[in-house]
Amino acid sequence: MSESIQRETWATRIGFVLAAVGSAVGLGNIWRFPFQVGEEGGAAFLLVYLLFIVFIGLPAILVEFVVGRRTDRNPVGALKAIGGDSWKYLGGLFVLIGFVILSYYSVVAGWVLRYTVGSATGGYTEDPEAYFGTISTGLDAAVFHLIFMAIVVGIVALGIRRGIEIAVKLMVPAIVALLLALAVYAYTLPDVAGAYSYYLSPDFSVIAAEWQSILPAAAGQAFFTLSLGMGVMITYSSYMSEDRNLGEDAGAIIGLDTGIALLAGLVVFPILFAAGVDPASPGPGAVFVSLAAAFTDIPFGLVLGFLFFFAFALAAVSSAISLMEVVISYLIDEHGVDRVRGTIAVGAGMLLLGLPVTVDLTMVTLYDQLAAEVLLVLGALGLVVLVGWLKSEEAIDELSKGIGDLRSVGTVWIWLVRVPVLVVLVVSLALAVTSYVDFLRTEFLEFLGEL
Ligand code: PFF
């Protein structure tokens, strides 16, 4: 480990909070969240999701924060410092997940860039369905994957203060402002009442009837949206220079992430309802096709589409840089690699790993389900066992720094981590493995057969 290199830190507290919010707010909030709400029965899902955010997401994000701040290290170094040599493999898993997730996240984010351009040129208005087919695979997809990756490499190569911190200070406020403006406009669209009631009034009979699918979906979404389970929050909190109140920071980050997801729903649903598009149409491409169709139909649709996809692209960049930083912090801390060279090399590797995803949409599912549903949950589970059960005293001690006397709050937190968080992760992992095996046996085999 190269102890002699002066480790970077955030210049300001708000820089750290915005970077974490920037990581949390991404494709998950704008793309995954509204459509999960759609697929899982509207407001009923929303209610369960909010409960998960508070009782599972908040304790879990604090686990990553205490690990990062206590050790001032990347996930591999951090887990080794806390748990001993054998725990470094869990840190290694985090780095690996970061690598895999960014390789396909960048392909999907490339579609978003393409739709931003498409809104400016009106490219998708003629046939939104055919348009998605053309741009989502093949050379088009690969080129935009390359452009997106180059943007991410450029920001991360500049470092914590000059790259990531400045970028998020510009991007996060811009995302909020754009979505607010779009939500106000969406409010003026026809059938906004229908959209709001679908989105905001829970039907409890739906929860009772479909809890088996609502619960894991809500838990998975809570982890994914808060960027948990892959060391992002460990890495970002390791650049903190002082002992601040982590509870307040976590509250602010979670509040902003949830607020932005809710806001995205207030934009997306009125637009879909106004254009008469079914909000429950599933699949990774459905969002793009149905939104593009809606933007083609409603007044000022293309201007709206441009602003929407632009906000969406900013959100994707601010998440992608956090994934890249996990890998880079590992290379810098553990192997003394130069930041600029390391970032370029890692970006090139991710670019290659992402290329198969541009061949067919089935590959998106192959990567996404494995990384985001199986590996990420496995990573979070390992961390919860280490911090909640094996190193709880140190964890409570670390949380108390910057807060003072925790009283019973520390105990409540650890028990939330030890039982509810752990149970949710174990159940989610079991379900995710089953559904991944199912996917491999059916859809993926058929895909291979067609090649
Ligand atoms: N939280 C991001 C989103 O909601 O899109 C996705 C994400 C980013 C997940 C970074 C995990 C991560 F480490």
Angle between helices 204-225 and 376-384 (to 10 degrees): 80
pTM: 0.94
Pick from 211, 221, 217, 296: nearest CA to 258: 221
Give the Cα separation of 206 and 216 in Å (integer). 15
Q: Is residue 196 part of a domain?
A: yes
Q: Which atom of ligand 1 is nearest to the CA of 26?
A: 5
DSSP state of 40: T
pLDDT given at position 206: 77
Q: Which atom of ligand 1 is nearest to the CA of 230?
A: 13
CA 204 from centroid of its chain's CA atoms: 28
Ligand 1 centre distance from Cα of residue 177 (Å): 21
Q: Is residue 171 part of a domain?
A: yes
- Please give, one letter per residue, the 3-state secondary structure of 167-213: HHHHHHHHHHHHHHHHHHHHHCCCCHHHHHHHHHCCCHHHHHHHHHH
Token reading at 424: 């949710």
Q: Is residue 184 part of a domain?
A: yes
Ligand 1 centre distance from Cα of residue 18 (Å): 14
Angle between helices 246-274 and 166-187 (to 10 degrees): 40
pLDDT given at position 282: 59
The residue whose CB lies within 8 Å of the most ligand 1 atoms, and thus the one to mutate among 49, 105, 224, 370, is 224
With a 6 A CB cut-off, is 365 part of the ligand 1 pocket? no
With a 6 A CB cut-off, is 358 part of the ligand 1 pocket? no
Q: Assess contact for 163 and 3: CB atoms under 8 A.
A: no
Q: How many domains does the chain have?
A: 1
DSSP string, 96-131: HHHHHHHHHHHHHHHHHHHHHHHHHHTTTSS-HHHH
Give the Cα separation of 57 and 346 in Å (integer). 29
Task: Produce one character per residue of 257-292: b if its CB has 16 or more CB atoms within 10 Å, e if not.
Answer: bbebbbbbbbbbbbbbbbbebebeeeebbbbbbbbb
- Burial label for 4, CB within 10 Å (0-12, 13-18, 19+), is exposed
With a 6 A CB cut-off, is 225 part of the ligand 1 pocket? yes
With a 6 A CB cut-off, is 216 part of the ligand 1 pocket? no
CA 84 from centroid of its chain's CA atoms: 29
In this structure, which residue's CA is closest to atom 13 in ligand 1? 227
pLDDT given at position 1: 45
Q: Which atom of ligand 1 is nearest to the CA of 326?
A: 13
CA atoms within 13 A on the CB side of 362: 13
pLDDT given at position 205: 82
Q: Which atom of ligand 1 is nearest to the CA of 319?
A: 8
Token reading at 335: 């192997």
Q: Assess contact for 273 and 191: CB atoms under 8 A.
A: yes
The residue whose CB lies within 8 Å of the most ligand 1 atoms, and thus the one to mutate among 256, 323, 368, 383, is 323
Which residue, chain included where needed, has tokens 């709206």?
A: 304
Give the Cα separation of 407 and 413 in Å (integer). 11
With a 6 A CB cut-off, is 66 part of the ligand 1 pocket? no
The residue whose CB lies within 8 Å of the most ligand 1 atoms, and thus the one to mutate among 61, 225, 235, 373, is 225
Ligand 1 centre distance from Cα of residue 226 (Å): 6
Q: Is residue 4 part of a domain?
A: no
Ligand 1 centre distance from Cα of residue 96 (Å): 15
Ligand 1 centre distance from Cα of residue 405 (Å): 33
Q: Is residue 109 part of a domain?
A: yes
Q: Which atom of ligand 1 is nearest to the CA of 98?
A: 13
Q: Which domain does 259 fall in, by range?
A: 13-450
Q: Is residue 5 part of a domain?
A: no
The residue whose CB lies within 8 Å of the most ligand 1 atoms, and thus the one to mutate among 64, 74, 227, is 227
Report the residue count for the chain.
451
Q: Assess contact for 117 and 41: CB atoms under 8 A.
A: no
Give the Cα separation of 220 and 381 in Å (integer). 13
With a 6 A CB cut-off, is 48 part of the ligand 1 pocket? no
With a 6 A CB cut-off, is 323 part of the ligand 1 pocket? yes
Give the Cα separation of 296 and 88 in Å (integer). 51
Give the CATH number for residue 144. 1.20.1740.10
With a 6 A CB cut-off, is 224 part of the ligand 1 pocket? yes
Q: Is residue 6 part of a domain?
A: no
Task: Produce one character per residue of 220-229: b if its CB has 16 or more CB atoms within 10 Å, e if not.
Answer: bbbbbbbbbb
With a 6 A CB cut-off, is 27 part of the ligand 1 pocket? yes
With a 6 A CB cut-off, is 258 part of the ligand 1 pocket? no
Q: Is residue 3 part of a domain?
A: no
Give the Cα separation of 69 and 400 in Å (integer). 12
Give the Cα separation of 162 and 148 in Å (integer). 19
End-to-end CA distance of the chain: 46
Per-residue pLDDT tens listing for the chain (451 residues): 444 457 999 999 999 999 999 999 998 888 778 777 877 777 888 888 999 999 999 999 999 999 999 999 999 999 999 999 999 999 999 999 999 999 999 999 999 999 999 999 999 999 998 999 999 999 999 999 999 999 999 999 999 999 999 999 999 999 999 999 999 999 999 889 999 988 888 777 877 888 777 877 788 788 889 999 999 999 999 999 888 899 999 999 999 999 999 999 999 889 988 888 877 765 667 778 888 988 998 889 999 999 999 999 999 999 999 999 999 999 999 999 999 999 999 999 999 999 999 999 899 889 988 988 889 889 999 999 999 999 999 999 999 999 988 889 999 999 999 999 999 999 989 988 998 999 999 999 999 999 8
Ligand 1 centre distance from Cα of residue 102 (Å): 9
